[in-house]
Amino acid sequence: MAVPTCQHQFSDHTTCNGVALQGHRYCMWHRTEADRRRRATRVIREPRNKRILLTMSKHPSIVLHNLQQVMDAICADRISNKRAGLLLYAITNSMSSPS
């Protein structure tokens, strides 16, 4: 019996191939990532809602994701430059702080 695999495509056009959740196309990690993207799309459609969903971690892909979230918020004029600077400072400090 074949086990369904995650259909998420990375930037180098390879697929995740992790075990997909039952009844879904994605594994646990990429399912929550897809949910996060859907919520972010909803936030963009509702400009009065200025929340940014950041995950604090030293993992490079998560740091890049956080930077993208802040840049998107700046471009959409959802946060002030001061708040963006504070978030970027926090992201860089999380990378340099010891575990």
Output the pLDDT for position 10.
80
25-33: average pLDDT:
83
Residue 99 pLDDT greater than 60, yes or no: no
More confident residue, 80 or 57: 80
The domain tally of the chain equals 1
29-53: average pLDDT:
68
Residue with tokens 């471009």, as numbered in its chain: 75
Answer for the pair 91, 66: CB distance below 8 angstroms, yes or no: yes
Residue 61 pLDDT greater than 60, yes or no: yes
Print the domain residue range for 65: 50-96
The answer to whether residue 63 sits within a structural domain is yes
Tell me whether residue 56 is exposed, middle or buried, using C-beta atoms within 10 angstroms of its C-beta: 0 to 12, 13 to 18, 19 or more.
exposed
More confident residue, 88 or 52: 88
The answer to whether residue 55 sits within a structural domain is yes
Alpha-helix residue ranges (DSSP H) falling in the chain: 28-45, 60-75, 81-96
Residue with tokens 């998420």, as numbered in its chain: 8
Rounded Cα distance, 41 and 46, in Å: 9
Output the pLDDT for position 76.
78
The answer to whether residue 56 sits within a structural domain is yes
